[in-house]
């Protein structure tokens, strides 16, 4: 298991060091600094073995977090734990920075003592931790006996992510369907690979221990209902019948609150949510993706010292919708000496430091087209190697889900308290963002 955990600043100075196992010595702290942080080259692997000691590291801004072990540990678990630790720290004191870590080192030690025992990760849900690890430190002694046992049963219980007795005057929940659409397109406009990775993020402000059920236009569910419920109201079968109403989900993963065995057997998503914001599910689709933008590149080399670039972008969604924060990044060769750009819409600039022309458009409606042309002057070089022509990449945000996912319902039941499903105020929002959206040129 994890033998020790160290946090370093960018210079390699130790900010936190907690050793869990006897086989990890102080020299491990230095070994990582010397061999990884101070190593000149780029990091070639997130797992490093130095003198039969393995170091796992992740970086958050300029802070290094490293877990150390001498055993054959579950590597995936170690990384998951490191990410989790970052989450917990962020939940407690915000951004992970040298300043914040130094300011909260006592708290961090307390957390590390709690969430990692002898190198075995323990309950690390912030919801639970915050009930008994507090920044004040003194609070915990004033718990009554009932409160204490409530804490421990929550930390060890089946619903470790939620405490009992939560009360809201207004029961409210927010659902965000956040998708990132990824594309790799050939210069000829052929889709080499495209997929959407989506997340359903829920903010719940619900009283008690509400039992929730989430439904979306999952093809498997809709098809099943279509078959079984012919006598049902006609509205539903119509929903299933009209083409793009249901989507094929390649795979999805759920927050630990979701009952996986139930999903596996009935494909229904039921859970008792944590309080506040959390990620309910992640999913991935590859079929029938709506690609919000098409990029058409045209690069022509005029002699050895000039390049002509023309890029057309086309928006491909309902004209009533507006895309935002559009940015097209056209890479330029390293030996570029000057660039002239002409664009109809938005602003375009050559950024020498980034070796790219960056073209920004604030808003663009659907079914529109826009174009940029640029002349790039090159310095003559002796470099035999041809310019690699990195792909043209794009950023944008659209107010729909490119996968076609729709939330059908989110039902809330709390049998013990006096509120019912339709007393809950529910909000749903769809945001589609570009992931890695690239067109080769």
Partner 1 sequence: MTDSKYFTTTKKGEIFELKAELNSDKKEKKKEAVKKVIASMTVGKDVSALFPDVVNCMQTDNLELKKLVYLYLMNYAKSQPDMAIMAVNTFVKDCEDLNPLIRALAVRTMGCIRVDKITEYLCEPLRKCLKDEDPYVRKTAAVCVAKLHDINAQLVEDQGFLDTLKDLISDSNPMVVANAVAALSEIAESHPNSNLLDLNPQTINKLLTALNECTEWGQIFILDCLASYLPRDDRESQSICERVTPRLSHANSAVVLSAVKVLMKFMEMLPKDLDYYGTLLKKLAPPLVTLLSAEPELQYVALRNINLIVQKRPEILKHEMKVFFVKYNDPIYVKLEKLDIMIRLASQANIAQVLAELKEYATEVDVDFVRKAVRAIGRCAIKVEQSAERCVSTLLDLIQTKVNYVVQEAIVVIKDIFRKYPNKYESVIATLCENLDSLDEPEARAAMIWIVGEYAERIDNADELLESFLEGFHDESTQVQLQLLTAIVKLFLKKPTETQELVQQVLSLATQDSDNPDLRDRGYIYWRLLSTDPVAAKEVVLAEKPLISEETDLIEPTLLEELICHIGTLASVYHKPPSAFVEGSRGVQHKRLPPRAGSGESTESPDVGQSGPSEAPPAVIPSQGDLLGDLLNLDLAPPTATVPSVQPSMQMGAMDLLGGGLDSLLGGDIGGSPSMGAGLGAAPAAMPASLGGAPAVGGGLGDLFDLGGGVGMPTGSYVAPKTVWLLAMKAKGLEISGTFARRGGIIQMDLSLTNKAMSVMTDFAIQFNRNSFGLAPAGPLQVLTPLSPNQTIDVSLPLSTSGPVMKMEPLNNLQVAVKNNIDVFYFSCQYPLSLLFVEDGKMDRQVFLATWKDIPNDNEAQFQIKDIHLNSDVASNKLQGSNIFTIAKRTVEGQDMLYQSVKLTNGIWVLAEMRIQTGNPNYTWMCWRRPHVRECVSQNDSPVIS
- Please list every residue from 211 through 250 that binds partner 1, using CB under 8 A: 250
> What letter does residue 425 receive in the DSSP assignment?
E
Does 104 bind partner 1 (CB under 8 A)? Our answer is yes
Only segment of 99-107, 305-313, 345-353, 365-373 that touches partner 1 (CB under 8 A): 99-107
Show contacts with partner 1 in window 376-435 (CB under 8 A).
384-386, 388-391, 393
Contacts of 262 (CB under 8 A, 6+ apart): 268, 270
Binding residue for partner 1 (CB under 8 A) from 43, 298, 365, 379? 43
Q: Which two tokens stand for residue 302?
A: 């005029």
Does 369 bind partner 1 (CB under 8 A)? Our answer is no
**Angle between helix 219-228 and 234-241 (nearest 10):** 140
Kindly calculate the radius of gyration of the chain based on its CA atoms and give it in whole angstroms. 27
3-state secondary structure of 117: strand
Does 120 bind partner 1 (CB under 8 A)? Our answer is yes
Show contacts with partner 1 in window 266-295 (CB under 8 A).
279, 281-282, 284
Given the complex with partner 1, which of 349 and 389 has the nearer CB atom?
389
Binding residue for partner 1 (CB under 8 A) from 162, 163, 195, 329? 195
Q: Point out which residues pair with 315 in neighbouring strands.
A: 293
Residue 274 C-beta-side C-alpha neighbours within 13 Å: 21
Show contacts with partner 1 in window 132-161 (CB under 8 A).
132, 135, 137-138, 140-141, 143, 145, 148-149, 151-153, 155-158, 160
Given the complex with partner 1, which of 194 and 309 has the nearer CB atom?
194
Distance CA(157)–CA(202), nearest Å, equals 22
Binding residue for partner 1 (CB under 8 A) from 83, 409, 413, 427? 83
Does 304 bind partner 1 (CB under 8 A)? Our answer is no
User: Which backbone phi and psi does 440 adopt, to 5 degrees?
Assistant: -75, 150
User: Which backbone phi and psi does 375 adopt, to 5 degrees?
Assistant: -115, 125
Residue 301 near residue 389, CB atoms below 8 Å: no
Binding residue for partner 1 (CB under 8 A) from 25, 35, 75, 90? 75
Does 22 bind partner 1 (CB under 8 A)? Our answer is yes
Given the complex with partner 1, which of 1 and 322 has the nearer CB atom?
1
């Amino acid at each position: 298991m994890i033998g020790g955990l160290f946090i370093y600043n960018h210079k390699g100075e130790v900010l936190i060091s907690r050793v869990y196992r006897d086989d990890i010595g102080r020299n491990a702290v230095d070994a990582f600094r010397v061999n990884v942080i101070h190593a000149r080259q780029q990091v070639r692997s997130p797992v490093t073995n130095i003198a039969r000691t393995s170091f796992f590291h992740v970086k958050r801004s300029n802070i290094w977090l490293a877990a150390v072990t001498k055993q054959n540990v579950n590597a995936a678990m170690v990384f998951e734990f490191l990410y989790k630790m970052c989450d917990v720290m962020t939940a407690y004191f915000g951004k992970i920075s040298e300043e914040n870590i130094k300011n909260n080192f006592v708290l961090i030690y307390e957390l590390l003592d709690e969430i990692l025992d002898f190198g075995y990760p323990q309950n690390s849900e912030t919801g639970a931790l915050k009930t008994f690890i507090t920044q004040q430190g003194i609070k915990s002694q004033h718990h009554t006996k009932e409160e204490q046992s409530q804490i421990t049963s929550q930390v060890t219980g089946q619903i470790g992510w939620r405490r009992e007795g939560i009360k809201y005057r207004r029961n409210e929940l927010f659902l965000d369907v956040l998708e990132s659409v990824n594309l790799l397109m050939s210069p000829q406009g052929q889709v080499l690979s495209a997929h959407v990775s989506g997340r359903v993020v829920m903010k719940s402000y619900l009283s008690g221990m509400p039992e929730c059920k989430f439904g979306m236009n999952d093809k498997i569910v809709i098809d099943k209902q279509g078959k079984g419920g012919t006598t049902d109201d006609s509205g539903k079968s119509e929903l299933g019948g009209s083409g793009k109403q249901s989507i094929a989900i390649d795979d999805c993963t759920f927050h630990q609150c979701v009952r996986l065995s139930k999903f596996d057997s009935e494909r229904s998503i039921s859970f008792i949510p944590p309080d506040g914001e959390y990620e309910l599910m992640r999913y991935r689709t590859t079929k029938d993706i709506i690609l919000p933008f098409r990029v058409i590149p045209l690069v022509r080399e005029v002699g050895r010292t000039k390049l002509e670039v023309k890029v057309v972008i086309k928006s491909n969604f309902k004209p009533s919708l507006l895309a935002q924060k559009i940015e097209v990044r056209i890479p330029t060769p390293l030996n570029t000496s000057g660039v002239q750009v002409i664009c109809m819409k938005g602003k375009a600039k050559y950024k020498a430091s980034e070796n790219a022309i960056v073209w920004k458009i604030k808003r663009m409606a659907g079914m529109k087209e826009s174009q940029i042309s640029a002349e790039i002057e090159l310095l003559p070089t002796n470099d035999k190697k041809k310019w690699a022509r990195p792909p043209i990449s794009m950023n944008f945000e659209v107010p729909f889900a490119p996968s076609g996912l729709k939330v059908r319902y989110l039902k809330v039941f709390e049998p013990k308290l006096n509120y019912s499903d339709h007393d809950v105020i529910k909000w749903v929002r769809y945001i589609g963002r570009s992931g890695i959206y690239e067109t080769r040129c």
